[in-house]
Amino acid sequence: MEYMTVLKELSELTGVSGREYGISSYIANIFREYCDKVEIDKFYNVSGYKKGSDMAGKKIMIMAHHDEIGLLVKSIDEKGFIKFTNIGGIDSKILLAQEVVVHGSKDVYGVIGAKPPHLLKPEEAKKAVKMEDLYIDTGLSNESISKLVSIGDVITFKTYPFELRRDKLSSKCLDNRAGVAVLLDIMKRLSKLNHNHDVVFVATSQEELGLSGAKIAAYNINPDMAIVIDACHGEIPDGAKDETYALGNGPAIAIGPNLHRLYTKKIMDVAKEENIAYQVDVEPGNTGTEAWATQVSRSGIPTILISIPLKYMHTTIETVQISDIKSTGKLVSRFVSEL
Amino acid sequence: MYIKELTELNGVSGNEDEVREYIKKCIKELVDEISIDSMGNLIAFKKGKNSKYKVMLSAHMDEVGFMVTGFGESGVVKFATVGGIDERILPGKRVLVGEKNIPGVIGSKPVHMQEREERNVNIKLKKMYIDIGTDKREETEKLVSLGDYVAFYSPYTQFGEGLVKAKALDDRVGCAILIEALKERYEFDLYACFTVQEEVGLRGSEIAAYTVNPDIALVVEGTTCSDVPGVEKSEYSTVLGDGAALTIMDRTSYPSKNFVNYIFELAQKSKLSIQFKQTNSGGNDAGKIQMSRGGVVTASISVPCRYIHSPVSVMSEKDFNSCRDIVIAVLKDLGKNQQLIENMKRI
């Protein structure tokens, strides 16, 4: 798989939580290449079914969310400037002087502005800028923008995928398009590997809004076990070592009450046998991932969580390393094949 | 319009070579002589048909940016700002490092990992770093050296109703207008000065003005524009789309009243949109040129730029065109009636 190209393309798609209509049909088309059957549900979860070799096999669900954080049009002022709020967790400190696309009846380009620094009072300058003090400048008058953009339209960051050294990619929403890339990688690998059990790949919606897509998908699919693929915090100079995972050292496998102990041990064993490097993510409670919702679906689903280290989460420059995506794909497909 | 090419080149103060080379290529056939001085100012001379006076046009080639000051153990690059940059805008921006334009991003701690008290204060420049993807200090040191220049990455983008987003509009707009002005021939001797190091203290223009020793000088700039939400109308320095902005007074210069009034009236007569810059903050090369040798009659005219000194500065093409047309109209008019120059010098 041309990992870098696939990942760049996935990060360029628009899929703000709750508005996954476009991205879901795009992903469904890719899934169709490798799956026997593809469905999109009411929540825009995309499920791809791949039959196992054993007629009496069980059902394994592998999920990664395809939605992304974004902004939402709140109001348009008399000069045409747009006020906005956030969808998903966004630090307003990273929004100044960013470029965005407002998805109205047409896509409209804009930049995020605020009161210029030389006009700030000293006490204002010290405090972090608040979202209510920011606005989007589309260069259009109120009359022109009102024809294109309505209250409630979503806004994404403008994507400029940046290839860094050491096979790293920096772009928007690699949380969790990197996970979606892993789903594609597993599909391709499983086309060549024997697997007894049926596998259902799910690109889920609305993760950033409280795991809604995963709740619906887990209920609808009702699998015998679930593997959640998401992003975890990558190691950065100013981050606590025990909360972060180095890029390039393989996926982080989570241990804790949210995760099924035996399957978690099993996937670690597979990693050791296959010489795939991994890191251990100790999660004493809520993992904050779709594993949390999936574990308690219906009568309960044994769930494991595999995370891709990602730096600068929920910014315009989320950064991952390609080797981690490859090794996550390899590890999960080996695991599924051995079950 | 030259602006796309000019703004996509990097020329942080002290490292204007790329911009200078591009300008040199553009004007080679348009001028009689090109000289480059010890600091890197490019001075283009265009002989007049009837040379009695020396007129200096000035625009600076440099832009704000960064320099590499050190390395972290994890391979990140530490940096200092070159020129005035609001450090609040830096987290999450893309940059190009060094002569090889190595892509990098300005990293900061994700919101999930910030303590409550960290969330409400701005991230300090000292805590920021550039991530080029390397994992170790030694690896970075092979690619990047102390003192390497770093520039914002921001492709030229047209948007809205005739607007442009780019980095370094301050002052590549001036450079573009000077190039356009050199396409005409005038009565007097014209010296178009593309200066260096404006952003670090108006350094290049000081020696360029001494060298040229002009009778009169016009500085062409990109200036602030604060006509945005959260700002009282009385605090608008300029208004986007209202035309070129003429400086009455700022922190560095006090332009000649006669020259300013002359430009304003000529623009109005020629039906070219013009506005006064309504603040005395900011400053530019006019400050040094005005004080050169025994003093020079000086004025500055600018293209208003929102979000100036950021990777997303915004201008209106209409304002650019009016600024260019006014500069050319002034030169033509002064040429036709060189006595005007003499009169302005006498005040």
Residues of A in contact with B111 (CB under 8 A): 89-91, 314
| Residues 115 through 174 of chain A touching chain B, CB cutoff 8 Å | 115-119, 125-129, 133, 135, 137-141, 144, 160, 162-168, 170
B198: annotated active-site residue? yes
pTM score over 0.90: yes
Q: Above 90 in pLDDT, residue B99?
A: yes
Cα A65 to Cα A270: distance, rounded to the nearest angstrom: 25
Q: What is the pLDDT of residues A171-192, one digit of tens each?
A: 999 999 999 999 999 999 999 9
**Tens of pLDDT, residues A120-129:** 888 888 889 9
CATH of the domain at A329: 3.40.630.10
Averaged confidence pLDDT in chain A: 96
Query: Which pairing describes strands B157-159 and B163-166: parallel, antiparallel, or unpaired?
Result: antiparallel
Active-site annotation of A, residues: 207
Domain co-membership, A275 together with A194: yes
Residue B8: pLDDT band by 50, 70, 90 thresholds? very high
* A242 & A289 share domain: yes
Domain that holds residue A118: 70-157
**Where a domain ends, among A99, A128, A157?**
A157
How far, CA to CA in Å, does B116 sit from each of A110, A124, B35, B122? 31, 18, 57, 13
- B117 confidence band (pLDDT: 50, 70, 90): confident
pLDDT in tens, B191-201: 999 999 999 99
Residue pLDDT, tens place only, A276-317: 999 999 999 999 999 999 999 999 999 999 999 999 999 999
CATH 3.40.630.10-classified regions of chain B = 3-63+167-346
Fold observed for domain B65-152: Elongation Factor Tu (Ef-tu); domain 3 (2.40.30)
Is B72 near chain A, with CB under 8 Å? yes
Sheet of A162-164, strands arranged across: A162-164, A168-171, A318-321
Residue B81: pLDDT above 70?
yes
Give me the mean pLDDT over the B226-251 stretch: 94
Residues A150-162 pLDDT 10s: 999 999 999 999 9
Per-residue pLDDT tens digits for B276-333: 999 888 899 999 999 999 999 999 999 999 999 999 999 999 999 999 999 999 999 9
Number of domains in chain A: 2
Considering the domain architecture, whether residues A111 and A215 belong to the same structural domain is answered as no
Query: Over the stretch B265-275, which tens digit does the pLDDT of each residue have?
Result: 999 999 999 99
Q: Using an 8 Å Cβ cutoff, are A46 and A40 in contact?
A: yes
- C-alpha B129 chain-centroid distance: 26
A188 lies in the same domain as A282: yes
Residues A215 and A85 in one domain: no
Boundary of a domain, candidates A122, A157, A192: A157
Query: What is the nearest CA distance from B137 to chain A, expressed in angstroms?
Result: 12
- Domain identity same for A75 and A59: no
Cβ-contact B318, B273 below 8 angstroms: yes
d(CA A279, CA A248): 10
Region B111-135: mean pLDDT is 92
Q: Which residue has 């059990």 as its token pair?
A: A197
Sign of CA dihedral B277, B281, B285, B291: positive
Report helix angle A174-192 to A322-338, nearest 10: 50
Res. A215 pLDDT band, cuts 50 70 90:
very high
Residues A46-63: tens digit of each pLDDT: 999 999 999 888 999 999
Please check whether residues A41 and A125 belong to one and the same domain. no
Torsions phi, psi for A259 (to 5 deg): -115, 150
Average pLDDT of chain B is: 95
What part of B 120-159 touches A (C-beta under 8 Å)? 120-123, 127, 129, 131-135, 139, 143, 153, 155, 157, 159
Domain-located, residue A45: yes
Is the domain defined by B3-63+167-346 classed in CATH 3.40.630.10?
yes
pLDDT of residue A294: 97
Q: Is the peptide bond before B343 cis (omega within 30 degrees of 0)?
A: no
Q: What is the mean pLDDT of residues B125-150?
A: 96
For B87, which residue in chain A has the nearest alpha carbon?
A117
* pLDDT for B347 beyond 70: no
Average pLDDT over residues A243-261: 97
Q: Is the pLDDT score of B1 beyond 90?
A: no
CA dist list (Å): A270 to A296, A330, A337: 26, 10, 10
Give the pLDDT mean for A244-249.
Answer: 97
Residues A54 and A103 in one domain: no
pLDDT at B135: 96
What pLDDT score does B310 carry?
A: 97
In terms of domains, do A41 and A185 share one?
Answer: yes
**Per-residue pLDDT at A1:** 74
Q: Quote the percentage of chain A above a pLDDT of 70.
A: 100
Mean pLDDT for the stretch of residues A68-85: 97
What tokens were used for A49?
């079914």
State the DSSP H helix or E strand holding residue A319, giving kind and residue range, or none if neither: strand A318-321
Is residue A140 within 8 Å of A133, Cβ to Cβ? no
What do you get for the CA distance between the two ends of chain A, in Å?
25
CB-based contact, A233 to chain B, within 8 Å: yes
